[in-house]
Structure 1
Amino acid sequence: MPGNTPPPPPPPPVEPLAVISISNRIANFWTDQPRAWFVHAESTLLPQNTSDEVKYNVILSKLDKETITQITDLISSPPATGKYTALKNRLLQIYEESESRQLQKLIGEMELGDQKPSHLLRRMRQLAKDKVPDTTLMILWQNLLPSWVRGVLTVVEEKDLSKLAELADKMLETSRAAQVESVGASTSTAPPLSSDAAMIVAEIAKLNIRMTDLERSRPRFRHQGGRGRRDFRGRSGSRRSNSRRRNENNPNWLCHFHFRYRERATRCEEPCAWKKQGN
């Protein structure tokens, strides 16, 4: 009919050399992380305007023998249309863990090991799939960190989980660099501290010094304080008693020199009863 817009022409077929180039840029299938692998593969396939048949064949070329045996029925009788989508859904169905299994791994099977705290957090977020709130994920994640890192993270003002992970990375990097330096490793190539990491290390050092000073001073303070109070009361009582004796109207009044030095006094001032007392 007049005025109807003709359908767009189909995309030109991809040349065989171009298909080989596309295939070489895609890694072999990841059975442990199939969904992440399809994200990686489609980032190469989709911009090329490849046909359903080409995408299907490229994906097949990235499967190993064991994986092929799991989908023999599908590749023996593929659907007439939507072959790529059917293959993708079947692989995800076989190799992607159920949500309950992913939550089980998230709660009870994660550990930090040698990876960075930020890497651990990303893996945990993949398992959570937005079904676990950040407040809960933060608790699960922090429980897998070293105790001293948890202690610092609980007192910092930052509440964004991703930024906390970056902060934890810096703290562990600083700690590992310090450990290497402490054993005299001359080949250490630890990076210079950033301002954030240096601030954290400085604050931790200050806290450690304060705690050490408190632990050291507390026992001595109690012991010396008690003795000091007794000594102070004794001296105070003696002074009060001497003050009562040193009354000028008292016939036994002693001058300053004889009162203080007794027989060792070299001077005497009147009034003084030292000589009257027969000394």
Structure 2
Amino acid sequence: MTTVTEKEHVEDQRPAELFRVGVRVPPFWPEEPEIWFAQVEGQFAISGITSDTTKFNYVIGQLDHQFSKEVKDIIISPPATDKYEKLKLELIKRLSASHDKKVKQLLMHEELGERRPSQFLRHLQSLAGPTVPEEFVKTIWTSRLPRNIQTVIAAQPTSSLEVLADLADKIQDIATPTPQVAAAQAGPGSTMDAMAREIAELRKQLQNLSSQLNSQDRRSRSTQRRDRSRSMTRSVSNYRRFPECYYHFKFGSNARNCIKPCDFEPESRDSSPRRIPGKSRDPGKNSENSRGGQ
């Protein structure tokens, strides 16, 4: 009677070609090695393959060179027994560690952007998968939130991520500015930069306009001073030539108007009209009769 041990020994001695019939091993799935091994073991079961060596050889035959390097030591020097199980456990372990490292690096470059805090958390959880610790995801998520939200989150150390995400959404809704203010607070190269450039241009134009107005005002004041100076010169000159104004010169005491400066002195009853000597405007007018009415 053949024992189980003898039967396995005989199976290990069979040509490998006998077990290739009907085995459909799917392409290796490095992101989910556990699922891949479960699929492969299902094919082994369908094909009736139980040999440890055969399983081992099937698996290493499906590995690309980059994944073969992860278990190079086992491929070159496999253990005497349980080669397949050793290869399976180490490949899952090492690829998971490498994958987690890459995922963590990827997560560290993610930013909140225009997403709500809860949306950003779900995005990080999707990238992380089940292998990355939740505490690491929480640390990345919290560090990307605005400072005012971080302060509130830090005060809730025992709350779950779902509760914190809902709380963060509510804080963001309260603190979100109006559309007009939000437009003015856009980031680099956006509306704020355009507004700053426009303000600078307006300031420049105002300075130029102010300079032009000041220049025109100075020219106007200078012209006014020259005009006043010429007017005063003419007035003084006329005054020096004719001490009496036109009306007193022409009508004497009967004048009803007077233009200053005028040195006319009204004549007394017992004396003839007195005038300050000056050049007569009309020497031919010597009698009172020659003075016409006003």
TM-score by length of 1: 0.36
| Structure with greater contact order relative to length (CA < 8 Å, sep ≥ 6) | 1
TM-score by length of 2: 0.34
- Rg (Cα) greater in structure: 2
